[in-house]
Amino acid sequence: MKRRDLLKYIGLTAGTVALTGSTSIISAAEKSTKSKRVLRIAHITDVHIRPEENAPDRFEKCLEEIKKHKVDFFLNGGDSIFAADYDNITRERVNELWKIWNDTTKGISGFEMHSCLGNHDMWWAAPNKQDKMYGKDYVVKQLGIPNRYYSFDKKGWHFVILDSNNGGGSLDDEQRLWLEKDLQSIPVGMPVVCMSHYPILAVCTHVDGGNHTDSKYISDLFYKHKDKKITCLSGHIHLKDEAIYNNVHYYCNGALSGFWWEPGDKDSAGKTYYKQTPPGYAIIDLFEDGSVVNQYFPHSF
């Protein structure tokens, strides 16, 4: 689209198009020039499911709303439960949380869900490391995923699911080696979606912290693969954020639970907001040419 045509488009649509979240009038104009859409994905993150605050019913209503977008599958960005990682959490509580997760997600059992591990998902207070519920392996089993990190392909797109939960928000050496080999193995020009729980790179983490501590390593690795269009998705900080660095797009898509399903606090811009970010989810369109449209949809449940 030529610049004068883009400006004309903006002028025509500014008064008539209402867009939510991270979508803007310019991105809507760009969308009109993109190639064929091949996938539509729902990105949910930081569900923090719990029995309190009527969270199960509210989560189920969110899922029914998301299904109306006619998505192909779900990406779940971690912190599925609230929360197994504290020292005082009992076995009974962890079992209760995972039961609620499994019950509430039955409504989307007809969809694939590809999940990553969140820092609050693991039960570290088990009596010992040999306990079947201890640590990451049990979460992998509960989420029905092949490993704590993995990749897969769909309709010409490569998806990388990372485990951020090493040393306070980073990749371990084993995973780094795997990621280097995985990116090397895919064809030149193949577009990539990389999902992590912690943001790899974000603007608002300069204020709040919470991003990957090895951002430099990962961003340097992505630069070595600049022949591939890479888009990164994350959660963890409950804030909606976008960043672009070396032509890699980084989207942090808030939290479906907002303020952990609670009304909020003095810093909440609205009911159930975490600071200025409302509870919500993202709908992501992936196109044949490797382009992406990421839209954040606040919910009112």
Q: Could you give the domains of the chain?
A: 1-33 (no CATH), 37-298 (3.60.21.10)
Half-sphere exposure at residue 217, Cβ-oriented, CA atoms within 13 angstroms:
14
Residue by residue, pLDDT tens for the chain (301 residues) are 444 444 343 343 333 333 344 443 334 444 545 589 999 999 999 999 999 999 999 999 999 999 999 999 999 999 999 999 999 999 999 999 999 999 999 999 999 999 999 999 999 999 999 999 999 999 999 999 999 999 999 999 999 999 999 988 999 999 999 999 999 999 999 999 999 999 999 998 655 668 999 999 999 999 999 999 999 999 999 999 999 999 999 999 999 999 999 999 999 999 999 999 999 999 999 999 999 999 999 999 9
Contact 281, 8 (CB under 8 A): no
Neighbours of 243 (CB within 10 A): 18
pTM above 0.85, yes or no: yes
Neighbours of 246 (CB within 10 A): 11
CA-to-CA distance for 139 and 136, rounded, in angstroms? 5
